[in-house]
Amino acid sequence: MSELPDLFPGFSSSTIAVGDLRFFVRAGGSGPPLLCLHGYPETHACWHRVAPELAKSHTVIAMDLRGYGQSSAPTSTGDNHVQYSKRTMAADCVAVMQALGYDKFSVMGHDRGARVAYRLALDHSAVLDKLVILDILPTVEVWDALRAESALKSYHWAFLAQPAPMPETMISADPEFYIDHTLRSWTQDRSLERLDPGALAHYRSFICERPRIHAICEDYRAGATFDRAADAQDRDDGRKIEAPTLLLWGADYLGKGASNPLEVWQRWCTTLEGCEINSGHFLMEENPADTLSAVLPFLARPA
């Protein structure tokens, strides 16, 4: 991988070993630990506009999830795609934080990272102080609610979940076109103008590697199978997220859906608050000021 722009001046970079895998981590600031988890099709770089302000009150840890960015991308085997399930990814995150010396921490996740974050909240409640969810609904709720309009808007859920190597082969034909199209279609102004060129270099770099294209497809295959079933089981059992939870959503993304995000998440959380942000899908990049205005007071309050 060619040298990429450093978007986190003053932050350290390290590689944390968890078993046979390696996870790339940026860390900076001081205070209570806050783990930040990126979504698809991005990397830890998505936090670069909010990390400096968060680091004034927290120790910010931004990591690349397995398969993404500069972290390991193991080959997935078997039919249940467990290697890329959110349960497995949540366990990765707990192990990385423990390796850094943190037994309890808060988590903020966007998109796929938010799915890892809420799975962490359900499976590892003892380690979690607070949870911040950015612009998603629970996986099983999305699948259950799919209709013609939402299926067209979220076509990638079904496309990326198709059996290998069909989506991998199609994306590999022109990966930069694919990622630029995806990012552009989810911003508020349907352009890349609000995304930093340095961050775009990070996103374009990882998507050009065939093992990482396979990894993101496995992420979505797990979403359609293992993750959906795990969510359904938790819902049937009446399990709820115990940690105080903040939900933020983009006015021009989740805010345009048929469901009220707060009403959906109230069925999953014991303590929930939230609001809409004037943004497309990439809240912390398109509107970092309003995102921080909501996140910082929530994190500052006693759990």
Of 64, 92, 111, 219, catalytic: 111
pLDDT value of position 2: 64
In this structure, the strands spanning 272-277 and 128-134 are: unpaired
The reported pLDDT for the residue numbered 141 is 97
- Residues of the chain where predicted confidence (pLDDT) is lower than 70: 1-2
Closest CA to 90 of 127, 50, 52, 42: 127
The reported pLDDT for the residue numbered 119 is 98
- Dihedrals φ, ψ of 221, to 5°? -65, -40
CA distances from 202 to 40, 41, 104, 192, 218 (A): 12, 10, 29, 14, 20
DSSP 125: G
Read off φ and ψ for residue 131, nearest 5 degrees: -130, 130
Q: What are the start-end ranges of the E strands in the chain?
A: 12-18, 21-29, 33-37, 59-63, 105-110, 128-134, 245-250, 272-277
Mark whether 124 is an active-site residue.
no
The CATH architecture of the domain made up of 12-300 is 3-Layer(aba) Sandwich (3.40)
What pLDDT is recorded for position 11?
Answer: 98
pLDDT score for 151: 87
Strand partners for 232: none
Could you say which DSSP state residue 270 is in? S
Q: What pLDDT shows up at residue 130? A: 98
Active site residue 281: yes
> Nearest Cα to 150, choosing from 11, 259, 29?
259
Give the pTM: 0.97
